[in-house]
Amino acid sequence: MPLITFKSLNKSVNIAPGNNLLKAAQKAKIVLDSPCGGEGVCGKCLIRIVDGDVDSDCLGIISEEAIDQGYVLACKTNVLNSPITVDISEQVSGIDGTLPTEHDSIKLINHDFLPKPSQYNPIAAKLFLQVPEPKLEDGLSDLDRLTRSIHEKLEKQQVNYTLDTIRNVADTLRTDEGNVTVTMVKKVGLYDIIDIESGDHSKENFGIAIDVGTTTLAIKLVSLPDSKILATLSDYNDQITCGLDVISRINFANKPEGLSELRTRVLNTINRLIHNVCEGPAIDQKMICNCVVAGNTTMIHLLLGLNPEYIRREPYTPTVLNTPYLMAEQVGIEINPQSLIYIVPGVASYVGGDITSGLLCTDLTTHKKDISLFIDIGTNGEIVIGNSEFLMTCACSAGPAFEGGGIESGMCAAPGAIDRIEIDAKTGLASYQTIGNVRPKGICGSGMISLLANLSLTGWIDEAGKFNRSRKSQAIHMDRRNAYYTIVPAEKNQGGKSITISELNIENIMRAKAAIYSACALMLEQIGMGFNDLARIYIAGGFGRYIDLEKSIVIGLLPDLPKERFQYIGNASLVGAYMALVSKQHRQLQMDLSQRMTYVELNTNSEYMNQYVGAMFLPHTDKHRFPSVQNRLEKR
């Protein structure tokens, strides 16, 4: 089999002729950006052939100039019978191990919402016991003596043991004169003993909280006796190569072995994160006996290997919303195999446990008077409105634009992403800054908001998002009906590639912002309220360092309200999962929330389409909704 060498990464792999280079990269454990799932549509898996012959179809996506330089789509380029050397340094994201920066969102939220020490009560607790030695007279088995010792310390109720625990009991009881630590899950009327160790390990109880996002996974390793966060890590979801949004994942799951591949990929990501997060504090993965997972309904279905098809089909009924506790070894998460996994309960097919989880980071659900709004901006936008009296929720398909999907130069909020852009009102030329202050690789969600807002404020685009055809700028290139705006020209970029946004891209971003704004507006309308009646607006989502509120209002993503009413809470889902990990009361709160929320289905709501069409302008067709923006636009 020919050898494929990935030049800049110093990796190589043998693969049979006929396979494409996306597969070869996967085999070499290299993640190429491939949001369309290898369909040759998105153009993201662009790589350069340095040496060797290939059979490639460029499908008209790549310019002739690029083809001459050796650029091909990895997914549409098949290996022949000879070795190939590939350069993937031009891949816009993910190629060299750069990850979205994980900010500790716990700093963003009000610490009054965090569990108090009196509430610390994890799923599995550790209990130190001194078990008396066996005696001929008492007729007790090892298990009987152990049960008696547990009953001496705790309320007398049934004690169950896993087979693996039973297998260790005899020798462990005899290792350190009966000094043992049992790991137990307390249930109603029952203690489940899932592990036994010799000696006193009652202070060594660890847990992990996981947020499974469509694009990014994040994890916290926690020491449970004091609920201390030992480490936080995040990584791309390995499923990205199977499609960028939940609908394309559901489609992928329909392929033969598709569901199994998606499950393997998300498990690989989770287990890699667990492995890595344990390295720093040098914790043995098998010592982790607690685990909470928050994620949207589709992500949870894929993680558990459940057919997600019915999520997509009317009447949009998922298999599970409230998942029973499941054993780690059954789910495939590599911690103590007998540990129970708690999955944060969801509300509906498109409002999952990530939202139930994230709400714990706010006072939206508990405030007796104030009505607040919660917006989680991601590939799907989820919205919650209410207070302690009522809770309404809905979801809208924003599309992956804010995460860089569907935009040629788009990327996640990772180092190299342009996240702020200023436009010179006269020349129309851009100045920008990137995350990490490194060479620009692409543009992320906050960058696109910034770009759109400033193009609008400087009059280079109109309220429909179209470039002003009467003004000329070096940065704008007209091509029949489409127009392109160049943020970084190829000649000014070390890698030789320009970073450009088209009118079509702008339309995608406007669709995303319109979907979210109109969903919020509809929800308020349904309860006879306006944005002004809201006490607070919580914004969750992976915007990297921040979301630029002012610019978000300028493009009409967020309502035109004073800045102090907004609070950005970052990855609230992960912080909520952490709360559930350490506190039984917070697990119960999530359960209550999931049942209190009334779900409004927008897919079948005709009024939603009216609202959406109204929001497909900058900032909105109804100018009175955005008075401060209108004011600025009139002044330009």
Q: Which residues bind a copy of itself (CB under 8 A)?
A: 134-136, 139-144, 160-161, 163, 166-167, 169-171, 174, 188-189, 304-307, 309-310, 314-324, 326-327, 330-331, 347-348, 598-599, 601, 604
C-beta closer to a copy of itself: residue 112 or 155:
155
Residue number, 158 or 474, with CB nearest to a copy of itself? 158
The answer to whether 339 and 293 are in contact (CB under 8 A) is: no
Q: Which is nearer to a copy of itself, 159 or 278 (CB)?
A: 159
Q: Which is nearer to a copy of itself, 138 or 284 (CB)?
A: 138
First to last CA, the chain: 63
The nearest distance, CB 115 to a copy of itself, in angstroms, is 25
Cα–Cα distance measured from residue 421 to residue 475, given in angstroms and rounded to the nearest whole number: 13
Question: DSSP class of residue 215?
Answer: S
- Residue 65, judged by CB atoms within 10 A of its CB (0-12, 13-18, 19+), counts as exposed
- Pick between residue 352 and residue 410 the one whose CB is nearest to a copy of itself: 352
Quote the least distance from Cβ 382 to a copy of itself, whole Å.
15
Phi, psi for 288 (deg, rounded to 5): -85, 115
- Nearest approach in angstroms of CB 245 to a copy of itself is 21
374 touches 383 (CB < 8 A): yes
If the CB atoms of residues 16 and 170 are measured against a copy of itself, the closer one turns out to be 170
Helix segments in 430-571, DSSP class H: 445-457, 503-526, 549-554
Q: By 3-state DSSP, what share of the chain in percent is helix, strand and coil, each rounded to 5? A: 35, 25, 40
Shortest separation between residue 324's beta carbon and a copy of itself, angstroms: 5
DSSP assignment of 142-181, as one string?
HHHHHHHHHHHHS---EEEE-HHHHHHHHHHHTTTTTEEE
Burial class (CB in 10 A: 0-12, 13-18, 19+), 441: buried
Distance of closest approach, residue 383 Cβ to a copy of itself, in angstroms: 16
Asked whether the beta carbons of 218 and 412 are under 8 A apart, the reply is no
Supply angle C-alpha 11, 12, 15, rounded to 5: 145
Comparison of 348 and 457: residue with beta carbon closer to a copy of itself? 348
Q: Which SS3 state, helix, strand or coil, does residue 405 take?
A: coil
What distance in Å separates the CA atoms of residue 203 and residue 558, rounded to the nearest whole number?
Answer: 46
The least CB distance from residue 209 to a copy of itself, in Å, is: 21
What's the CA gap between 548 and 422, in Å, rounded? 13
Of 82 and 330, nearer to a copy of itself (C-beta) is 330
Q: How far apart are CA 622 and CA 510, in angstroms?
A: 15
Which is nearer to a copy of itself, 134 or 436 (by Cβ)?
Answer: 134
Q: Which of residues 66 and 327 has its CB atom nearest to a copy of itself in the complex? A: 327
Q: How many CA atoms lie within 13 A of 426 on its CB side?
A: 0
Q: Give the shortest CB-578-to-a copy of itself separation in angstroms.
A: 24
Min dist. Cβ of residue 255 to a copy of itself (A): 16
CB-side exposure of 360: number of CA atoms within 13 Å? 32
3-state secondary structure of 106: helix
Cβ 86 to a copy of itself shortest distance, Å: 39
Minimum separation from the CB atom of position 518 to a copy of itself (A): 20
Give the nearest distance from C-beta 317 to a copy of itself in angstroms. Answer: 4
Q: Which is nearer to a copy of itself, 63 or 330 (CB)?
A: 330
Length reported for the chain: 636
H or E element: which one contains 95? none
Within its chain, how far is the Cα of 528 from the centroid? Answer: 33
Distance, in Å, from the CA atom of 30 to the CA atom of 238, rounded to the nearest integer, reads: 10
Find the shortest distance in angstroms from Cβ 524 to a copy of itself.
21
**263 or 265: CB nearest a copy of itself:** 263
Output the smallest distance, CB 350 to a copy of itself, in A.
12
Token representation of residue 174: 């005899």
Q: What residue type is 238 in one-letter code?
A: D
Please, are residues 450 and 548 in contact by the beta-carbon 8 Å criterion? yes
Closer residue to a copy of itself (CB): 174 or 477:
174
Would you state the torsion angle of the CA atoms of residues 472, 475, 479, 484, taken in this order, to the nearest 10 degrees?
Answer: -130
